[in-house]
Structure 1
Amino acid sequence: MNAQTTHRAPTAHLNTAGTGRMPATVHAVLADCTARDDRFGPYVLEESLGPVLDTGIHERLGALLGVPARHTALFTGAADGFDSFASRLPLGPGDRIWTTPHEGVARLATLVALRDRTRCTLEVVPLRPDGDLDLDWMREHLDERVALVSVVHVSSACGTVNPVEAIGRLLAPHRALYAVDASHSVGQLPVDVARIGCALLTADGWRFLRGPDGIGFGYVDPALGESLARPPAAAAVAALHEALVRHEADTTRPYESLLPRLRAAVGRLPGIRMLAPGREQAGIVGFRHEEVPAALIRRGLARRGVIVRKAVAQETPLHPASAAGATAVGASVHHDNTPADIDRFVLALREVLREERPAAATRQPAAPARRALAAVESA
């Protein structure tokens, strides 16, 4: 049988930033709770999970984020949690919203809808030539008309770490509500809400925490009121609780050891262009090949037992890496990865490029995807 038809279980999962690989104990909790929900119904399941749903999950989330347990909240995802609060803010025509080029499309859609509803101004904080957010621009343009500042902690496009604590100190004396998307930082970087100084922090449970799909969480300043987002299923809450238990036992930081190894290995391959703006990256490597499309690279790696993701421009439409609608390959590392995974990935990538380059040379270039940048009115 050839590589197209032979089934091989993944041996190198390098897509934690997209969907983390759940540990066996988390799988077991999710399967058991789902089976009990199916057999006895949600009310019986919720009653049996009372201590976890009422206090346990919030205590662990509070410890994770450095906040009181009562100030944590659960959503079906980070984007839903953010939308629950941002979409009902009482802004007006004189107000300003700040976002950044790292903003994900779901959160950006909420901001555009808020702008359209309130007729406020939506502005994009520029990047410096080195790829970092321009804090000097923020200092120069900050005033009491800035009502909401939305910042991504770690960029999903290329792993850039934004200075969320420095931004919090800058905004502290001012009116602006500060909201942080920690979806790609919680679980791999320390996240301390008190040090960040934000009023709202949201994250997904299925990425670097390796919990189940369909659950997000966050910190909510009591002044913001109650979330209107749809709560996650009880089985997902129980599984996330188990994932947090596992996370607390992990002490390694693979972005400090494996990420440089991964970045160096990929960067040495001919025809590869790294997506590496900013002076600090964590957990995620983004790259393109000058001839072979990202989709073919992803599929070729999957046939060889290496799991990565294809990133499309629409996911982060304001980011320079999304220029002209180009796709990219994203690889990410976590606690369960080893140096052997990196070696397997590089070997497989070499094979894919060797296999696909002759065919790629005869293909017509794809038409650029329509960008969402036109939806944002920069000041």
Structure 2
Amino acid sequence: MNTDLLRAQTPACHDLIHFNNAGAALSPQPVNDALFEHLLLEQRIGGYEAGEATLDAQENFYHAFGRLLRCNPREIAYMENATRAWTLMLQAMPLAQGDRIITGQSEYASNYMTLLHLAKTRHIRIDVIPNDNNGQICLQTLRQKLDEDVRLIALTHVPSQSGVIHPAAEVGKLARKHRIFYLLDACQSAGQIDLDVDKIGCDMLTGSGRKYLRGPRGTGFMYVRQSMQDYLELPSVDLHSASWTRKDHFTIRDDARRFENWEHYVAGKIALGVAVDYACDLGMNVIEDRVRILAALLREKLRQLPGVNVYEEGDALSGIVTFNCDSHDASALQKFLRGHRINTSVVRHQINQLDFAQRGLPDINRASVHYYNTEQEIDTFCRCLSVRN
């Protein structure tokens, strides 16, 4: 991995330290070029006309994600964002009163709120599986909870509030054994972890473009296994997801694009495809190794600082590092770091009530590294924290 070249293609690296990749990573120049070129084309010749002129570039989106997830491009759909993709999959599940959905303690706030809404409106039961001592979903408890009433396991692969990587493939084996549908939120794992949907064993997978994939904001994707598509019930249809064949009849598409809308962010879709190709060309195994090495170094150096608490334990850890300083409020520390041109984020107790209540945590700080970050940036970051302490 040529870090100098990668940083040269990421202009902001020369002006700041970006440790907020779990929020929104910095896009490389080829991605920005693809985005701007299409917007300029729309400006020059018109939106519809630009769309017709770039059909190959749009089609690349599906092939790029097929390459990333090792699946058929017909199992890929473009979405406006990860939350839209995840909630659409949940809404499409033909659930009946009394059915159970199993989720984990680390579930993302919007996902869990959607489950709560489903419980109130469709009388679905929700079981939350606690984490084990390593912060991962407890597989022993999960096994005990699986019975004929469970219709779906909905799991977040890498939580927003923790660097833990949940054992997605092990959960997939249990789901297949018990013939239970499996929805995986890969919002934080896509782009930093090498993903193979067959090895994971999920039926549906959703994610965001703006995070570790380094795509534009306002973009997302979903994977829907071919054998699952006809089982799901479309909440709505339009002239893209279906064909109006007779006055009182329409035919639904025979691929995952049945979940898309005709009107969408064309420039963002093209640019996200470029971002995925960029990652695949680097090699997802190489990216994963680089991110884990940097995150491990950051955790090690943070633990050496007096008054700093690091919250990740275990071996299965991602590029997300959560911590706090005994003497400083999380928001104040984030503001201080930003004043020194270091981007981080704050993980708030209010939107992580399942996990943080169990762990007894207040608001904490989050630093999330990517492959274009450097060891020197980690040293600078830790020196800055030392001065603050």
What TM-score does the superposition give when structure 1 sets the normalisation length? 0.86
- Aligned counterpart in structure 1 of residue 76 of structure 2, from 72, 77, 97: 72
Identify the residue that residue 287 of structure 1 maps to in structure 2: 323
> Conserved in 2, the CA contact under 8 Å of 1:271 and 1:291?
yes
Identify the residue that residue 128 of structure 1 maps to in structure 2: 132
Identify the residue that residue 5 of structure 2 maps to in structure 1: none
User: Equivalent residue of 2:323, what SS?
Assistant: strand
Deviation at 1:315, TM superposition (A): 3.6
Letter in 1 for 2:17: A
Deviation at 1:39, TM superposition (A): 4.3
Deviation at 1:215, TM superposition (A): 0.6
Letter in 1 for 2:165: V
Identify the residue that residue 255 of structure 2 maps to in structure 1: none
Q: Deviations over 1:280-310 (max 9, x none)?
A: 2111100112220111111111111211111
Identify the residue that residue 246 of structure 1 maps to in structure 2: 278
Letter in 2 for 1:220: V
Identify the residue that residue 27 of structure 1 maps to in structure 2: 32
Deviation at 1:323, TM superposition (A): 5.8
Q: Deviations over 1:199-224 (max 9, x none)?
A: 10001011111000001112112323
> Conserved in 1, the CA contact under 8 Å of 2:79 and 2:260?
no
1:219 aligns with 2:219: no
Identify the residue that residue 43 of structure 1 maps to in structure 2: 48
Identify the residue that residue 369 of structure 2 maps to in structure 1: 333
User: Equivalent residue of 1:22, what SS?
Assistant: coil
1:259 aligns with 2:312: no
Identify the residue that residue 108 of structure 1 maps to in structure 2: 112
Unaligned stretches of 5+ in structure 2?
A: 1-12, 231-257
User: Equivalent residue of 1:318, what SS?
Assistant: helix
- Aligned counterpart in structure 2 of residue 193 of structure 1, from 176, 194, 197: 197
> Conserved in 2, the CA contact under 8 Å of 1:150 and 1:180?
yes
> Conserved in 2, the CA contact under 8 Å of 1:78 and 1:217?
yes
User: Equivalent residue of 1:262, what SS?
Assistant: helix
> Conserved in 2, the CA contact under 8 Å of 1:58 and 1:69?
yes
> Conserved in 2, the CA contact under 8 Å of 1:105 and 1:314?
no
- Aligned counterpart in structure 2 of residue 307 of structure 1, from 331, 343, 346: 343
Deviation at 1:74, TM superposition (A): 0.8
> Conserved in 2, the CA contact under 8 Å of 1:84 and 1:228?
no
How far apart, CA to CA, are the structure 1 residues paired with 2:335 and 2:358? 21
Distance 1:110 1:229, change over 3 A: farther
How far apart, CA to CA, are the structure 1 residues paired with 2:141 and 2:382? 40
Q: Deviations over 1:112-132 (max 9, x none)?
A: 112112212111011123322
How far apart, CA to CA, are the structure 1 residues paired with 2:292 and 2:119? 39
Deviation at 1:313, TM superposition (A): 2.2
Deviation at 1:230, TM superposition (A): 8.0
The sequence identity of aligned pairs, in percent, is: 29
Letter in 2 for 1:330: R
> Conserved in 2, the CA contact under 8 Å of 1:76 and 1:216?
yes
How far apart, CA to CA, are the structure 2 residues paired with 1:256 and 1:277? 13
How far apart, CA to CA, are the structure 2 residues paired with 1:240 and 1:321? 36
Q: Which moved more, 1:156-165 or 1:269-278?
A: 269-278
Deviation at 1:324, TM superposition (A): 6.4
Letter in 2 for 1:68: N
> Conserved in 1, the CA contact under 8 Å of 2:67 and 2:280?
no
Deviation at 1:341, TM superposition (A): 1.0
1:57 aligns with 2:57: no
How far apart, CA to CA, are the structure 2 residues paired with 1:195 and 1:182? 14
What TM-score does the superposition give when structure 2 sets the normalisation length? 0.84
User: Equivalent residue of 2:177, what SS?
Assistant: coil
Deviation at 1:326, TM superposition (A): 2.0
Letter in 2 for 1:52: A
> Conserved in 1, the CA contact under 8 Å of 2:295 and 2:320?
yes
How far apart, CA to CA, are the structure 1 residues paired with 2:332 and 2:43? 39
Identify the residue that residue 162 of structure 1 maps to in structure 2: 166
Deviation at 1:227, TM superposition (A): 1.6
Deviation at 1:28, TM superposition (A): 1.8
Deviation at 1:279, TM superposition (A): 4.2
1:344 aligns with 2:380: yes
> Conserved in 2, the CA contact under 8 Å of 1:180 and 1:202?
yes
